Structure 1
């Protein structure tokens, strides 16, 4: 266990499932495995044992079919315990910060190195790439809202699901918009929405209603109006993002 680091900072449940999995991966891949980092909710206070995922970034020198094949059994065992591994090569990460800037920043801002080289800590992500991905995600999300609505109409259960799934995908974008403003980044979704409203004068109360739907609370608003207002706010964010100067 002495080759693993920062274990004392972890939730006891996370440590219990992470340590044997990490040790087995190191034994399996040897020098080809360069780094293991824990990221996401398992690093912070929001982790819920047996409900939240234990997200692991495993950085390899190479990933060939034989490397994948010999990992199958161990990774399947890990998944049963809530471990969600992401395997990437060193070169893939270094060449992809312009393609997936938000994903790497989200990892970088909430991670703990467990083994090997601190590759996430060394990453540099440029603001212009973050803004571009925000715009792509917002506009892509808006198109999806249009398309799915045309497929399902005003079927209440499916519209609720559509709104909840949309907001879930947009929360990291909201954080990144705040990041581009140079603001301290809140962790809780309600705080993210409140800060977004304050910085960009959007209808935060509307997004909070959808968040309440996600949390299983009853929202008595007219669903058709709620959906229309939601579209309007996402459209507004698309324009704001397009015109943002860094």
Structure 2
């Protein structure tokens, strides 16, 4: 099979070879059923740091092929060492039919992605304001529930707060980008830029959220409670915006 050309120029230099190897392997396993491979998130920016990040991607297949995914799964250890996450697997029909259920996830991909091969299925997506608002509100409430449950599960072991906040940070930044989208900011912003814009729009400071995005930092009880109350305070924005 002749493999499609790989668009690698936007990937940081030290990740170009691992990404090319990954794309080639997916093409080899998927054959004509592989319609596109799209990198998204930090890997599509100059800020990617393999000591902090892993490369995220979406593989778009014409039809879901479990046998192909089983073979790709055997590459998991190798991909992990190369700082490449397991890709999301979608079909064109899934993308089209899921914009109402997962608008924040698709908005995240659309705002910062590079199509490595095949068609760009995300560039021209459009989103319904109500879908963005409802998921943003739901995500903030879900994060708060997770924090309360996590606090109980920690059983007094405050060293677990750091891992908990790291898990929360990814969902939170996606949600905050949704809130800014509702308020007219459609372009991709880094996490720190997002927090700054939210602070400006709400006329408040968010030190707990800023700390949640800090790498290699210990998080204590004060950080946890500050983060919780800031997220709780942002809940009303989803409805108002």
Q: When the two structures are superposed, what TM-score results if normalisation uses the length of structure 2?
A: 0.85
Secondary structure, counterpart of 2:123 in structure 1: helix
Count of equivalent residues: 239
Alignment partner of 2:189 out of 164, 187, 195: 187
Q: Is 2:111–2:187's contact at 8 Å kept on the other side of the alignment?
A: no
Match of 1:57 in 2: 58
CA change 1:227–1:67 in 2 (3 A) is closer
Match of 1:236 in 2: 233
Task: Write out per-residue CA displacement over residues 156-204 of structure 1, whole angstroms, 9 at most, x where no aligned residue.
Answer: 3234443444344312211211111012656332222121111123432
Once structures 1 and 2 are overlaid, which stretch shifts more, 2-11 or 20-29?
2-11
Gaps spanning 5+ residues in structure 2: where? none
1:216 matched to 2:213? The reply is no
Q: Is 2:18–2:82's contact at 8 Å kept on the other side of the alignment?
A: yes
Q: Distance in 2 between matches of 1:163 and 1:28?
A: 37
Q: Distance in 1 between matches of 2:153 and 2:31?
A: 50
CA change 1:132–1:64 in 2 (3 A) is same
Task: Write out per-residue CA displacement over residues 114-133 of structure 1, whole angstroms, 9 at most, x where no aligned residue.
Answer: 11111111322222211111
CA RMSD, Structure 1 to Structure 2 (Å): 2.6
Secondary structure, counterpart of 1:20 in structure 2: helix
Deviation (angstroms), 1:96: 0.8
Once structures 1 and 2 are overlaid, which stretch shifts more, 100-109 or 202-211?
202-211
Deviation (angstroms), 1:22: 1.5
Match of 1:112 in 2: 114
Q: Which has the higher helix share?
A: 1
CA change 1:202–1:92 in 2 (3 A) is same
1:40 matched to 2:37? The reply is no
Match of 2:31 in 1: 30
Q: Distance in 2 between matches of 1:21 and 1:226?
A: 38
Please tell me whether Structure 1 or Structure 2 has the larger radius of gyration of its CA atoms. 1
Q: Distance in 1 between matches of 2:153 and 2:73?
A: 38
Which 4+ residue blocks in structure 1 deviate beyond 4 angstroms? Answer: 223-226
CA change 1:78–1:209 in 2 (3 A) is closer
Secondary structure, counterpart of 1:131 in structure 2: helix
Deviation (angstroms), 1:154: 5.1
CA change 1:215–1:81 in 2 (3 A) is closer
Pairwise mapping of residues 68-79 of structure 1 onto structure 2 (< 5 A)? 68-79=69-80
Match of 1:90 in 2: 92
Q: Is 2:3–2:24's contact at 8 Å kept on the other side of the alignment?
A: no
Q: Distance in 2 between matches of 1:57 and 1:68?
A: 13
CA change 1:45–1:63 in 2 (3 A) is same
Alignment partner of 1:121 out of 117, 120, 123: 123
CA change 1:205–1:39 in 2 (3 A) is same
Gaps spanning 5+ residues in structure 1: where? none
Once structures 1 and 2 are overlaid, which stretch shifts more, 106-115 or 182-191?
182-191
